[in-house]
Structure 1
Amino acid sequence: MENQNSNSKLKSIIAILAVLLIGSLIYIFKLTSDAKELQTVVTTTKSDKEAVLKDLAALKSSYDQAIAENTSMSDELIEERDKVVKLMEELKKSKGDVASLSRFKQQYNALEVKMKNLMEEVAVLKVKNQELTTNLDSTKVVLEDSKKYNQVLVGQNEELAKTVEKGQKLSITNLKTAAYKLRSSGKQIETDKASRADVLQIKFTIAENKIAKSGDKVYYVQVIDAKNNVLGDKATITFGDTSLTYSFTSTVKYENKTVDVTEQLKGKDFAKGTYFVNVFDKEELISKSSFSLR
């Protein structure tokens, strides 16, 4: 009887130990599964965090490249890039749990959409800028060609003006001088003796010029004797930095046709030797000749 009771107790103890053993095994299995699951979650979370950081870095690189191209949207691009940089710093400091990673992914997706929109605008601006640059280059070429053409025209006009100016100048020809003796009757007798001369007669011809300006023309006649003295009025006139001492002036009414001019210079005690006669149009010497008295 006692043996039976002992066996029953032993069986009960063994049954209890078996139940406890099974329970322990189940608990240990659950702990192991939970640990593996936790490790998987941690590993996955860490990988996701690195992936998001990598995506944000690529986003920042795209902004940096766009900003370096100096587009008209640089300020807006810089603002968006700074948002990316700020989000990267926040992500690096975060614990990387599932909830926070989800929030960071949402923010990244929003930033990515914004970037794509901005890049499309940048692309449109690039095309417009290229078209504008092409138009500006074409305009520059046209302006350069016009400038060169204008310079040629200016040069031609200057040459033409000089040609016209030269063409408008009157030519003096047949400048001749002779000495005369005056008779009491008024008759003049040509002489080559200084002691007999009473007057010097200067004659010249103004040639025909159809493009010259018509009107009164004033010429300054200078007669220099053998002693280098200016005869006649000995008046002096200044043209800029040039001074001219002349014997008399000759005013001629010119109407674009040939004009013969005769002037006389009275005097006495003419010196023997060679005389020089110069005709000036203002300060410009336009004709000269010489003669001698013995």
Structure 2
Amino acid sequence: IKSEEKTIECKNCADHSEPKRYMKTQAENSAQHRRSRTDERPFKCLTCDESFTTNSNINRHVRNHTAEKRFVCATCGKRHNQRFLLQVHMRTHTGEIPFKCQSCGKSFPRKDCCLKTHLIVHTRERLYPCQTCGKSFMRKNDLRVHMNSHTGETRVQCTTCGKYYMDKNSLARHMRNHTGERPFICQSCGKSFTRKVILDQHERIHTGEKPFSCTICGKSFNQKASLSHHMLLHTGEMPFSCNTCGKSFRSKLDSHLGTTFIFLLQNILSSVILIGEHL
């Protein structure tokens, strides 16, 4: 008869971990689990100052800087630093959305960051408790911001321009605007960027990937903002209004305001000339 597998209970949140035989060591996994609840981030990237809760997470992150992208999409040629990310990427070509919410039927391409985050809407489950006051939060970032009320680090300030940020990671990303540091490099053309999300958007220029599709006409776009602007053609919405002439537009009013300013200036000059002629 097989003996019942023992699990380890977390004293902080009463969760039970996987059976011992799946873990490296009890102490190691207990520490990792604790950090996931308290948002402690002892592993810091020396290149961009981002910090992480586990050693494996920072190792994956470092590949963004070292350009180690061994996993190549056979369809569009886009490269990835993890096999898992390649598998997720392939769903943009196949249209596969395998993770379905049992409550509302909505489907998602990823379970970890997409479906898991979505489920909070239904369960309102608060997985991240504050170890100081006991207050719980639905999202890890909300806990991180809350912890500042106990540590006294309410906000961190940029010493160059004076802007305030809620955490050091946000400040580190902002500082690249001043230092000119661009640690994320495109392997196709060598262009560099301050943030990985901007690099990902740029790489779609080379791969031709257009993951954002219009549900009405099927047209695809390489940026979500482009899709949002396109949807206005179907809805007829014109969210930008000119306070001078009352006209409405789908996009920002920069060019229109320039034309309006010139028109108003011409009217003013004409009025001045007419007044001068009658004096």
TM-score range, shorter chain: under 0.3
**Greater gyration radius:** 1
Which of structures 1 and 2 has the larger relative contact order (alpha carbons within 8 angstroms, sep 6+)?
Answer: 1
The structure with more strand, counted as a fraction of residues? 1
Which structure shows the bigger proportion of residues in helix conformation? 1
